[in-house]
Amino acid sequence: MKSNSGVCRTLRQLRWVLYPRRCPFCDRVLGTVSPCPDCCAELDALRRKPTMRLSAGLHYLGRLEGAAAPYRYAGCVRRGVLRAKYQAAPWAADELGAEMARLLFGSEAKMGAFGPEVQPVPGLALSYDCIVPVPASSRARGYNVPERMARPIARAVGVPLEPKALVRIHAARRQEGLSLDERLANVAGAFAVPDPEQVEGKRVLLVDDVITTGATAAACAQALLAAGAQSIFAVALATVEFDARPQPSAQIHENSEEEN
C-alpha cells in the first residue's frame, strides 16, 4: 500500500500533466518550482519596502483601521491581476492569494496534490475574527477574484472566510478613469450586510485584489461597521502608489498601459 505522501505525489503528477501549474505573473509552466525564476527579480523590484502599510496621507482609508499591500500595481504584478480577472484563470487568483498569505502573514506553503497548500500561522487568529472578500463587480466572470485570493489567507490566519457577509446592492461604473471624488460617489451605498450577525462585534479582515485610492475598501468598511463590526483592516495584493494624494477632481488611470 502506498504511503500518503506517495499517493499525494502521484495525484500531483497526474494533475500537472493534465493541468500544468503556471506562474500567475508570467504564465510560465512551473510544476513544483516556486517561486518563478523568470519573475523573481521584477517581483523584488515591485515589493513595497520597508513597510507594506498604506499611508492615510496618500490613500483614502475612511473608517478603515488600516490597509496593507505587498506590491506596487505595475509590471508583472498588474499582469497577474488582470490574468486572474479577465482571462478565466481562477487558478491565478488562488496562487496570488497564496503569495499574499506568504508576504503579509508569513505563511509557508507545502506542495500538495493540487498546488501550494498554505500553512496556518500560530497566533494570527488572535487578531481577527473573520475574513470578508470584496464582492465581485460582475457575475459574468463566474468567480470572485478577491474571494479566491481570500481562501489561502483564511487558512493562514485560521479564522472563517465569510464570502456572503458583504454584497453589492447596486451596480457601479468601473472605477478606472474616475477621479477620487467620482470614485467615492460611485461606491457610496453600493455594499450591504444581509445578515449582521455574521459580522457583529467582529474584527474583520477585508480582502481585495488591488487598492487604488482606497474608495472601494472604505465603502465596504462603512457597510460592515454599520452592521456592527468592531473594526476593519484591508489587505490587497497590490496598490497604486502616488507621489501625493490625488486631487479630488483629477482622473486616475491605473490600467492605461493595458488599454493603449
pLDDT at site 258: 37
What domains, with CATH codes, occur in the chain? Answer: 48-252 (3.40.50)
Pair 36, 25: CB distance under 8 Å: yes
Q: For residues 113 and 18, what is the distance between their CA atoms, to the nearest angstrom?
A: 13
Q: Please give the grid coordinates belonging to residue 102.
A: 506568504
Q: What is the DSSP string of 140-182?
A: TTSS-HHHHHHHHHHHHHTS-B-TTSSEESS-----TT-BHHH
N residues, the chain? 260
pLDDT average, residue stretch 207-231: 96
Q: For residues 60 and 211, what is the distance between their CA atoms, to the nearest angstrom?
A: 10
The percent of residues in the chain predicted with pLDDT above 70, rounded, is: 85
Q: Which residues have C-beta within 8 Å of that of residue 145, sequence separation ≥ 6?
A: 81, 84, 85, 93, 136, 209
Question: Is pLDDT at 243 greater than 50 in this prediction?
Answer: yes
pLDDT at site 98: 94
pLDDT at site 139: 73
Question: Is pLDDT at 55 greater than 50 in this prediction?
Answer: yes
Confidence of residue 110 (pLDDT cuts 50, 70, 90): confident
pLDDT average, residue stretch 50-60: 93
pLDDT average, residue stretch 129-135: 97
Q: At what angle do helices 90-105 and 75-86 cross, to 10 degrees?
A: 140
Q: Round to the nearest angstrom and report the end-to-end CA distance of the chain.
A: 58
Confidence of residue 114 (pLDDT cuts 50, 70, 90): low
pLDDT average, residue stretch 20-42: 88
pLDDT at site 20: 80
Q: What is the DSSP string of the chain?
A: ---HHHHHHHHHHHHHHHS--B-TTT--B-TT--S-TTTHHHHHHHB--S--BPPTTTS--TT-SEEE-SEESSHHHHHHHHHHHHSS-HHHHHHHHHHHHHHHH---EEEETTEEEEPP-TTGGGT-SEEEEPPPS-STTSS-HHHHHHHHHHHHHTS-B-TTSSEESS-----TT-BHHHHHHHHTT-EE-S-GGGTTT-EEEEEEEEESSSHHHHHHHHHHHHTT-SEEEEEEEEE---SSPPPTTSB--TTHHHH-
pTM summary value: 0.88
pLDDT at site 247: 76
Higher-confidence residue: 127 or 257? Answer: 127
Q: What value does the mean pLDDT of the chain take?
A: 87
CA angle in degrees (0–180, nearest 5) for 113-116-117: 85
Confidence of residue 259 (pLDDT cuts 50, 70, 90): very low
Question: Is pLDDT at 150 greater than 50 in this prediction?
Answer: yes
Question: Is pLDDT at 9 greater than 80 in this prediction?
Answer: no
